[in-house]
Amino acid sequence: MKFLFFPLLLGGLLVNAQSKKELIAKTQQLSAEVEALKKQIDELKKPKTADLNDQHKKASYALGILVSKNLKMQGGDSLDYESLTYGIRDVFKEELLQLEPQEAAMFVQIYMQQAMQAKIEKAKAVGVAFLAENKTKAGVIETASGLQYKIITSGSGKKPTASNRVTVHYTGKLLDGTTFDSSVERGEPATFGVNEVIAGWTEALQLMREGDRWILFLPSELAYGEQGAGGQIPPHSVLVFEVELIKVN
């Protein structure tokens, strides 16, 4: 009986060994397939660049930039660009449109109005929250108009009046740190009338002396308000300026 048991045991071990070998081989195969899939996914995630080898493609890409920037400025940040490209594709290829042009025009008008209003409300809320917190910080002074400023360097020269012209160096930034204008970067100070600039500047300059360097925090009401400016300053933006009063002319 024991002699019959040994071949059976040996056969079982051989079967188990073969099964383990097949399992290892299958595991290795699956691992290789997973790695290959990972590489494919990584390739798909890489940003693709446009082919600008001829003037038509370059003009198309340039128009895409301009249209997109314009849409974002109008509150279209939430637009789905893939759906946007489908709409463009269907028109250019003369495919069956999923919306009639008249219906599309009405829908876009309502959508963009709502999107712009949402963007305005968000900008207002961000500005109000920033100013409320900022005025509690050490060294920040707030005037009755809502202008906030912080003295970096104190000068001892003349104070300008509303009728004076002044020469200043300045850098203007949005709350996200984006620089939209800078005489410092241009390497040349600016000269203008105290009453020829935005309200926040007119007020602040008359509080400063020659040699002063201040940081100004302007509520949108003392800056460019609901209109914004130059495509770089969105509506209802709180602005931050570093200003050095060089000379009262």
Token pair listed for 228: 């914004």
Domain membership of residue 155 (yes or no) is yes
Q: Are 200 and 216 in contact (CB under 8 A)?
A: yes
Cut 0.75: pTM above it: no
The burial class, CB within 10 Å (0-12 / 13-18 / 19+), for 199 is: middle
The burial class, CB within 10 Å (0-12 / 13-18 / 19+), for 204 is: buried
Helix (H) or strand (E) holding 72: helix 55-73
Amino acid in the structure at residue 40: Q
Domain membership of residue 218 (yes or no) is yes
Q: Catalytic residue positions? A: 170, 180-181, 198, 224, 241
Q: What is the pLDDT of residues 182-220, one digit of tens each?
A: 999 999 999 999 999 999 999 999 999 999 999 999 999
Q: What is the pLDDT of residues 85-141, one digit of tens each?
A: 888 888 888 889 898 989 999 988 998 888 888 888 988 999 999 999 999 999 999
Domain membership of residue 159 (yes or no) is yes
Counting the structural domains of the chain, the total is 1
- The Cβ of residue 153 has, within 10 Å, a number of other Cβ atoms equal to 9
Domain membership of residue 176 (yes or no) is yes
State which residues form the domain around 150.
83-249
Distance CA 214, CA 149 (A): 7
CATH of the domain at 243: 3.10.50.40
